[in-house]
Structure 1
Amino acid sequence: MELIKKHRDFLVYCLFGFMASVINIIVFNTSHNNLKITLWLANTVAWLISNVFSFFVTKLYVFKTELGDYKMMFKEGGYFLASRLFSLLFDDFFMVVAVLILPLNNIVIKIIDQLVVGLFNYFSSKWIFQYNNRSILERIKRFHSK
């Protein structure tokens, strides 16, 4: 029981990360395989939709922080999406290269991709939402408001 309490954030993040990955895979599959949208664009749209979902559940249920006012929510949302731009670049690059090179189904590749991206996203989300990092975020906000 102590082990579960110690790693609660990670375990809850895995649950919601799994849900975000399922959303990502469904949107990708529908966009690329059914609607015939190009691989890169379908992957990017899937990333955006799953990350908007992920922002809210990560903030509210994983790290248990309040939404705050709209201004704060949009700023945090901006930081959240900015922190995930690296994962988007990796995600797009990996999907395009792997689908072209590996003889695997694009959904199998997307699942592998989501596992790797999910680990990176956990650590970047933890940095943004953990209370002890608020002072860093406040300094960034003050710098940008000057």
Structure 2
Amino acid sequence: MDVIKKHREFLVYCLFGFLASLLNIAIFDVAHNNFNMQLWLANTLAWFISNTFSFFVTKMYVFKTEMKDYPKMLHEGIFFLLSRLFSLLFDDVFMVVAVLALPVNNLIIKAIDQVLVGILNYFTSKLIFNYNNRRLRERIKQLRARRN
């Protein structure tokens, strides 16, 4: 039980990350395989929708930050999506290269892609919501104060 409490944040993030990945894969599948949307465009659309979903669930359920301050939430949301542009670039490049180079179903490639992107996104989310970074900021301030 202590292990679950200790790693609660990561476990809940994985659960909602899994749901966001399923959403991403489903949107990609419908857009690319059913509506014949270009691969990178379908992938980018899936990224945007799943990351918007991810922002809200990560904020509310993983890092348990408040939703009352709308200007702050808008700022966090914009920063959240901007910080994930790197993962979008990785996501698009990986998908295009892997789909063109590997003789594997594009949904299998998309699932592998989502695992890699999910790991990258976990660490950027921690920075955005300043979760557990308060102690780190305090230590940095103390070190700077000692130097001066």
TM-score (norm 1): 0.89
Structure 2 counterpart of 1:3: 3
Alpha-carbon distance in 1 for matches of 2:82, 2:120: 13
Residue pairs, 1:44-55, within 5 angstroms: 44-55=44-55
> How far apart are residue 130 of structure 1 and its match?
3.0
Q: Give the direction of change, closer, same or farther, for the CA distance of 1:75–1:54 in structure 2 (3 Å limit).
A: same
Identity over aligned pairs, percent: 68
Q: Does 1:110 align with 2:110?
A: yes
How big is each residue's C-alpha offset from its partner over 1:47-106, in whole Å with a ceiling of 9 and x where there is no partner? 000000000000000000011322111100011111111100000000000000000000
Aligned-CA RMSD value: 1.4
Q: Separation in 1 of the partners of 2:52 and 2:63? A: 16
Aligned residue for 2:146? none
Higher CA-based Rg: 2
Mapped pair 1:98 → 2:98: yes
- Please tell me whether residue 43 in structure 1 is matched to residue 43 in structure 2: yes
Matched residue, 1:27: 27
2:66 partner SS: coil
Unaligned runs of 5+ in 2: 138-148
The AA in structure 2 aligned to 1:122 is: Y
Structure 1 Cα separation of the partners of residues 21 and 130 of structure 2: 22
Equivalents in 2 of 1:132, 1:71: separation in Å?
22
- Give the corresponding residue for 2:59: 59
Read off the aligned partner of 1:50 and give its amino acid letter. Answer: S
Superposition TM-score, scaled by structure 2 size: 0.88
Match of 2:141 in 1: none
Range 126-135 or range 22-31, more displaced: 126-135
Aligned residue in 2 for 1:75:
75
Question: Shift in Å at residue 132 of structure 1?
Answer: 4.5
What code does the residue aligned with 1:108 have? I
The DSSP-based 3-state class of the residue aligned with 1:78 is: helix
Unaligned runs of 5+ in 1: 137-146
